[in-house]
């Protein structure tokens, strides 16, 4: 994907949802925190598939809010695996919005989210790479 999103979305589609009136800020546009939350949920689903375990978000970096999102936009989050460490992984997440009456989605936000694989007690655990991710 280019910085202006010219080449379209790539990677795993991990969440798709509709921006609703309840998600707006004081300007009437979609609240940035809502979008960040959708990205984190989608990235968490992706990370849990890769790790085959529960995961938690430990860091969010290089977050860009490129374009506004409006009520009625169809928002899709795509994930690409950037790095896998011992217990953590970094996932590049992009949110694309398809506006009503438009044919092409536009890149609205992107960032690098780091997730840690955890055990039942919430402690970091080694990510096993000898098995494929869970298929959904």
Contacting residues toward ligand COA, per CB under 6 A? 56-59, 85-88, 114, 116, 118, 122, 124
User: Minimum CB separation from ligand COA for residue 60, in Å?
Assistant: 9
User: Is the four-CA dihedral 61, 83, 69, 3 of positive or negative sign?
Assistant: positive
User: Minimum CB separation from ligand COA for residue 13, in Å?
Assistant: 23
Rounded distance between C-alpha atoms, residue 43 and residue 126, angstroms: 19
50 vs 97, which CB is nearer to ligand COA? Answer: 50
In the chain, alpha helices (H)? 32-51
Residue nearest to ligand COA (CB): 85
Q: What angle do CA 42, 45, 50 make, to 5 degrees?
A: 125
CB of 97 within 8 A of CB of 8?
no
Rounded distance between C-alpha atoms, residue 134 and residue 55, angstroms: 14
User: Minimum CB separation from ligand COA for residue 25, in Å?
Assistant: 20
User: Minimum CB separation from ligand COA for residue 61, in Å?
Assistant: 8
29 vs 57, which CB is nearer to ligand COA? Answer: 57
């Amino acid at each position: 994907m280019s910085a202006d999103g010219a080449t379209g979305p790539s990677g795993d589609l991990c969440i798709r949802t509709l921006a609703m009136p309840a998600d707006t800020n004081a300007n009437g546009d979609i609240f940035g925190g809502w979008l960040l939350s959708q990205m984190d949920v989608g990235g968490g689903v992706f990370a849990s598939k890769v790790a085959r375990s529960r995961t938690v978000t430990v860091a969010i970096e290089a977050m860009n809010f490129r374009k506004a999102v409006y009520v009625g936009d169809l928002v899709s989050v795509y994930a690409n695996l950037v790095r896998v460490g011992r217990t953590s992984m970094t996932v590049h997440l992009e949110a694309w919005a398809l506006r009503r009456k438009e044919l092409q989605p536009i890149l609205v936000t992107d960032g690098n989210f780091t997730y840690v694989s955890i055990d039942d007690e919430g402690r970091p655990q080694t990510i096993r790479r000898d098995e494929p991710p869970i298929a959904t």
